Structures are given as structure tokens and as C-alpha cells.
Chain A
Amino acid sequence: MTKKSELLWYESHTRQAPVAILMIIFNVLKSLIRTWWPFILILIFRSDFIRPETVKWWVGVITFIVILISVWRYFRFYFFLSEDKLHVFKGVFTRVKLDIPFDRIQSITFEQNIIHQLFKVARVKVDTAGSSSEEFEFAALDLKKADQLRAFILSRKTSNIADDVTEQKTSGRLLLNLEISDLLKVGISQNHFRTTGIVVAFLLGLRDRIKEALGDRYLNEFDSLTEQLFENIVVYGLGLFITILILSFFGTLIYSVLKYYDFKLWKSKDGYRMESGLFNRREQAARDQKIQIVRWVNNPLRDIFSITQLRFFQASSGSGSSKTSISVPGLPQTLMKDILRYYFGRNIGNIGANEYGIDRSFLIRRSLYLVLVPAIILLSVGIITQTFSWWYFSVFWLVAGFFYQFHLHRKWRYYLQEDGVLTVSGVVERVHKALLLRKVQGVQIKQSPYQWRNGLATVIFHSASGDLQIPYIRMDLALRIKNYTLYKVESSRQKWM
């Protein structure tokens, strides 16, 4: 009991580590820039509002206010622990008092960026099962205090006592440790076409943003710049695409190395724990019981390296949010069998058995709506405007679209197991999803007019962390799957969340 006097700090009002002021300043600046960036752009580009000699005064005043608010915010933020609750007081202009019962706390995670590491503090995130307004984080807590806080809260939780990251830290087997060479494979095998698409969409969106912020004068300059770029689109268009593709390639490569540097994944008796990051060291934990859906994505490049990208979806307040899902890049495909064995809790030798495809009308309907109708519209535009390029585009859409839909339908697979369901979809990128039937919390049958006229249906399995769908199957089969799933859920006595 001599130790008790040392531990008592969290029973009285406690503030964060002083270095938290730095983080708060950073956060205030970030939110300032986020809300005022069009205004800031105007100030920079149309500086006739402010004369250069007064700029330093403005900067000084704003800096002073930001620091004042941050310091104020730091001193307003304090917390203490009672028998069964975490009490937090915060807020400068609107004061907030939070009482979080320990039982509601789902997880407590630590994060350290380079400043945190220097000052031996951690950002502590507290996740609750409820709405996002109840979630909050400590900007910086002394590492030792953070550990004590977590240990205290987890020891006082009446339910989910096993939800203990520190316990898993000591036990558990290192499943995966990615080295730089693995990370190169991960970076190379990302979907670069999607990134390229996002970049192109961003450039297009940028035009509107510039118009909003700066007016038409700068828009013309932007347009003439892009005109130069897009001039002779046939020659340069391809060049631009390849340039962005290459940029995205190296971008993702750097991103992967930064985010997943020294990635480690442990498997303990009842869950997983992972740690990764170069500047921003993150650690996350998931208990087997909390994992609802397992998803892994392959593509041809990953097949060459024989790796896969795996993601565990845990039960959360917002379904499928990235906060509560654990992502494992570059998992060797051979390890996937173990992961599935842990998830299903049995030997999964017969996982490929009971394979089914979906109905042909999936292909017919999608070809009609997504391929034929757009192609006809493109063709009519071509006929009305008398431009041949529209005709070519129409034919291209027709051929490529049908080819894609054909393979999408042909490669759609689902597997019905005694205790679970598996789906595999996608033409180039193959998305696998596995769901244990006892994790299902609702079964839905949906029918479009076409589907009910033709005795077809789409079955949706709802889980606490997202859905799994089987589209276009016979209605009688859908009903049987539904009844069987309900039977499995309702007769299951195992914990599911």
C-alpha cells in the first residue's frame, strides 16, 4: 500500500504534459487554416488589402492570439478518475464536461509522432462504443502516466476484461515484421490507377476552388496553363497520364514506407496487436471476438510477390471506419490460411468447397444500364454534333464495358460454409470477404422490380462493422441462406462482440 500515494495523481485534477501546448497550438493553426484558407489565399495573391510593411504586425497579432487561446485551452483541460468513470473538463468558450464510464471504453490507443518521442509523451485516444461526440483524445500525456491511466481503467472495467493491450504485449507470437524490401513490394503493388484518377479529379476540382477563392482573373491563367498541358491532347494526354502514374507510384512508395515502417503484427491467445510508422508510431489492438469481417485484396502484382493486403474490421460506432479497422499491408499469402484459421476457429481445409456463382442476369442488367445506355447516349451526342470522336468513344465504351461486366460476372464467387460465408469479387483487383455467420446481426433480402419478376434476390448480411452482399441469386436459395443464417445466429451461444 506504500505505492498508493504515488498512484493517486489521477484521482485529483490532472492536466496534460506541458508539451501539449505545442500540439494544441498546432491543432489551432490547423483548424484556422482549414476554415480560412480561401481568405488566406486571397491575402497572399491579392495583397493590396494589406500593405507589406504591416504584414509583420498582422502575423504577430495572430500568433499572439493563437498562443493565448492554446495556453488557455491547455489550462482549461483537466481530468481525473473516479471509481468507475473518467471525468474530463475542457473548452474555452463553450465548456464541456464529459463523464465516461469505464465499461463504455472500447479501446485506448497510443500514438507518437517525432515530437512525442522527443518529449517522452504520447497522444492517447479513447474510443467509446457510443457516438463520436463522446470520443476524445489527450494531445500529450506523460508516457508513464498514460500507461498507469490505461492500466487503471482496464483493471476497473467489469466487462471485456481481456481487452487489454498491455497484457497482449507480454504474450503473443510475432506473426509478421515487414522490412524495407517488403515495403517496396507493398508500395509497388498498390492500385496506382485509382490514385491517378484521384489526382486527375483533384486537378479538375482545383479549377472550381481557384474560381471561388480568387475570381476569374486567375482562372484564366490556370486555364491557359492547363491548355498548354493539354494542347495536342493525343500526344500529351498520354504523357500526362504516365507522368501522374509515375508520380503516384513514387508517392505511394514513400507513403507506404513512412506509414508501415517496421510494421509488426503479433497474435496472442485472443487477439492481434500491431505497431508501425517511422515518424508517427502507431499501435493498435483487436480482440478476435471484436473482429467482425476479414477482408483481403489481391491483384496481379501482389500475386507475383505472393502477398496480400489484409484488413480486420472491428465493431464500431460508425460502420467500417478506419479508426477501428486494422490494416496489414504485405501479408504473405501463405499466412492467410492461418489468419482464417484463427478467425473461423477451426481448420479451414475445405474453404474452397461449396462454391457458387451468381445469376447471368447480373451481367445482362448491368450491361444494359451501365454499358448499352451510356453508349447510346454517347452515340446520339456524336450524331447530333457530327463529331466522329464521340462515335469512337461510344464503341470503345461498349466493347470495354461489356468485357469488364462479362468478367465481373464470371469471376463473382461466393462460398457457403457451415459456419460462415465468403465472397470474392472484382476483375483485376480481387476483393475477398469472410464473415462468420454468428457475427451476423441482421439478414436482409432486397429485390428490384426486375429481380422480383424473375425470382431473383440480393442477400445482405449486416454485421457490426459493415455488410457483405451476395447479388443476383435465386429467391428460393436466398430464403434458404437467410433461414440458415438466422438459425445459426439464434442457436449460437458464443460471444460475438
Chain B
Amino acid sequence: MSSQDFFQNRLIPIEDLPAVESSDFIPIDSRYARVQYLSNSLYFLLIFVVISIFVVVQLGFFSWITYAIVLLWLLLYLVSLWFARVSATKKSYLLRWHDISYREGVFFRSWITIPFSRVQHCEIIKGLIDNLFGLVELRIFTAGGSSSDIVIPGLTPDIAFRLKEQIISKVIDHDEEE
């Protein structure tokens, strides 16, 4: 049965449509949290250096403002680590016959679905820190602006490659049908 036959019947009751929400999403690799730990740590290290310079030049070591700033820095750092862990668990994707979905967000949640017939191209990106943990990022591009592009981080190269192959083959399928 070709994919064309799927939607022949125009009068489908809306409840019978294939629903995205009932399917199971696949979470990204849990090692992605570590990628975030490392990049957050580097970022906060940079901030710490700036604070240190400021402390040495301006405040002196034993001012209460110094303690307050360092305490605030520590607090924000811990929060960022916690957030990195939680947000990594919230990132998940779902491949269906005709489309790919991606969900993310701890507080502000987003859930985007792109039909394969609207995908322009895909690429796999290996970031510097990603590489240390053996992870890659899959980017799926649509036409026009970037607002509807999907970027799935924290995939193992094997899975990313297979996802890409799958999407590309579907995109080609659609092109041939037209």
C-alpha cells in the first residue's frame, strides 16, 4: 500500500485522525546533560574570572558585597546545573510515517511537528563539546526563515545518521510523487 492511499477518504471524523499526542516520544541521549554541565561550567568560570578581577581591583576580599556576589554566583551556577539536567530530560523527538516532532521546554514548552514533504534539507553538526561526549546535533531545515527549523541536540552519531537517512528518503519519496 503506497502512502498515497492513506488519506483517500476525505470525510474522516476528526477524532479518528492519527493523533500526535498519543504516540510515544523518544528522549535524547542522557549524556546531553553532561554537555550542558560542561558548557555551563565554562560559562560560569568566565563570569567568575570577571568577578575575581572586579573583586581584586575594586572591592577587596573581605567586603560583605564580595560575599554576596560570590554567593549569588554559586546559587545561579547550581540553578543552571539543575536546569541543564531537567531541560535535557524534556527534550524528545518522535518520528512518524509522514512527519517528525520535537518537544522541549521546562517552563515554556514547545512542541513542533514538520511534515517530511516540507523539509528542505538536513545536516548533522558535531559541536566541540558534543564531540567530547560522542554526541551530535541533527538540524532539519524548512524553506523561508528559521522559525520553523528543528534542531535536535544530544543524539548519538548512529541514531542521527539513521534519522537523517530516513528523513531524506521520505523527502525524496514526496518529491517523486509530485
For B4, the chain A residues whose CB sits under 8 A away are: 493
Minimum CB–CB distance from B135 to chain A (whole Å) comes to: 24
Which listed residue (A315, A444, A493) contacts B112, Cβ 8 A? A444
| In contact, B148 and A462 (Cβ under 8 angstroms) | yes
Interface hub of A440, A444, A497 (most chain B Cβ within 10 A): A444
Known: A319-B144, A479-B20. A493 touches B177 (CB 8 A): yes
Which listed residue (B107, B113, B143) contacts A449, Cβ 8 A? B107
Minimum CB–CB distance from B110 to chain A (whole Å) comes to: 5
1/0 per residue, CB under 8 A from A, across B84-123: the answer is 0000000000000011000001011111111101100000
For A341, the chain B residues whose CB sits under 8 A away are: none
Q: Does B14 contact A (CB under 8 A)?
A: yes
| In contact, A466 and B20 (Cβ under 8 angstroms) | no
Closest chain B residue to A490, Cβ basis: B98
| In contact, B111 and A444 (Cβ under 8 angstroms) | yes
| In contact, B113 and A479 (Cβ under 8 angstroms) | no
- A445-B18 Cα distance, complex, nearest whole Å: 17
| In contact, B108 and A487 (Cβ under 8 angstroms) | no
For B98, the chain A residues whose CB sits under 8 A away are: 486, 490
* Tally of chain B residues near chain A (CB < 8 A): 34
Which listed residue (A440, A441, A482, A496) contacts B20, Cβ 8 A? A482
- A440-B115 Cα distance, complex, nearest whole Å: 9
Minimum CB–CB distance from A496 to chain B (whole Å) comes to: 8
For A446, the chain B residues whose CB sits under 8 A away are: 108-111
Q: Does A443 contact B (CB under 8 A)?
A: yes
Q: Does A316 contact B (CB under 8 A)?
A: yes
- A467-B148 Cα distance, complex, nearest whole Å: 9
| In contact, B115 and A441 (Cβ under 8 angstroms) | yes
| In contact, B108 and A444 (Cβ under 8 angstroms) | no
Minimum CB–CB distance from A439 to chain B (whole Å) comes to: 9
For A448, the chain B residues whose CB sits under 8 A away are: 107-108
Which listed residue (A318, A447, A452, A493) contacts B145, Cβ 8 A? A318
* Tally of chain A residues near chain B (CB < 8 A): 40
Minimum CB–CB distance from B151 to chain A (whole Å) comes to: 13
Known: A442-B118, A495-B178. A319 touches B20 (CB 8 A): no
Closest chain B residue to A492, Cβ basis: B117
Q: Does B19 contact A (CB under 8 A)?
A: yes
For B1, the chain A residues whose CB sits under 8 A away are: none
Minimum CB–CB distance from A445 to chain B (whole Å) comes to: 5
Interface hub of B98, B107, B111, B146 (most chain A Cβ within 10 A): B111
By secondary structure, the A interface counts as mixed
For B117, the chain A residues whose CB sits under 8 A away are: 489-490, 492
A-B contact count (CB 8 A): 104
| In contact, A483 and B18 (Cβ under 8 angstroms) | yes
Closest chain B residue to A314, Cβ basis: B144
Closest chain B residue to A444, Cβ basis: B112
| In contact, B108 and A464 (Cβ under 8 angstroms) | no
Which listed residue (A444, A452, A480, A493) contacts B148, Cβ 8 A? A444
Known: A489-B115, A491-B6, A491-B7. A442 touches B148 (CB 8 A): yes
Q: Tell me the B142-178 residues at the A interface (CB within 8 Å).
A: 142-148, 150, 177-178
Q: Does B24 contact A (CB under 8 A)?
A: no
- A490-B112 Cα distance, complex, nearest whole Å: 15
Q: Does A299 contact B (CB under 8 A)?
A: no
Q: Does B17 contact A (CB under 8 A)?
A: yes
Q: Does A320 contact B (CB under 8 A)?
A: yes
For A464, the chain B residues whose CB sits under 8 A away are: 142-144
For A465, the chain B residues whose CB sits under 8 A away are: 144
Q: Tell me the B7-45 residues at the A interface (CB within 8 Å).
A: 7, 12, 14, 17-21
| In contact, A316 and B109 (Cβ under 8 angstroms) | no
| In contact, B142 and A462 (Cβ under 8 angstroms) | yes
- A29-B137 Cα distance, complex, nearest whole Å: 45
For A440, the chain B residues whose CB sits under 8 A away are: 118
Q: Tell me the A256-299 residues at the B interface (CB within 8 Å).
A: 292
Which listed residue (B108, B112, B115, B145) contacts A320, Cβ 8 A? B145
For A107, the chain B residues whose CB sits under 8 A away are: none
Minimum CB–CB distance from B101 to chain A (whole Å) comes to: 9
Minimum CB–CB distance from A35 to chain B (whole Å) comes to: 28
Closest chain B residue to A319, Cβ basis: B145
| In contact, A486 and B115 (Cβ under 8 angstroms) | yes
Closest chain A residue to B7, Cβ basis: A491
- A449-B21 Cα distance, complex, nearest whole Å: 19
> What 18 new A-B contacts, CB under 8 Å, besides A482-B113, A489-B118, A495-B178?
A129-B143, A319-B146, A319-B147, A441-B114, A442-B113, A442-B118, A444-B112, A444-B148, A445-B110, A449-B107, A452-B109, A464-B142, A479-B19, A486-B99, A487-B12, A489-B117, A491-B7, A493-B177
Ranked 5 nearest A-B pairs via Cβ? A319-B145, A491-B7, A462-B148, A441-B118, A464-B144
Which residues in A have some Cβ–Cβ distance to B below 8 Å?
Answer: 129, 292, 315-320, 440-449, 452, 462-467, 479-480, 482-484, 486-487, 489-493, 495-497
- 20 pairs, A vs B, C-beta closer than 8 Å: A129-B143, A319-B146, A319-B147, A441-B142, A442-B112, A442-B148, A442-B150, A443-B113, A445-B112, A446-B109, A463-B144, A466-B145, A479-B20, A480-B14, A482-B113, A483-B19, A487-B12, A490-B7, A491-B6, A492-B117
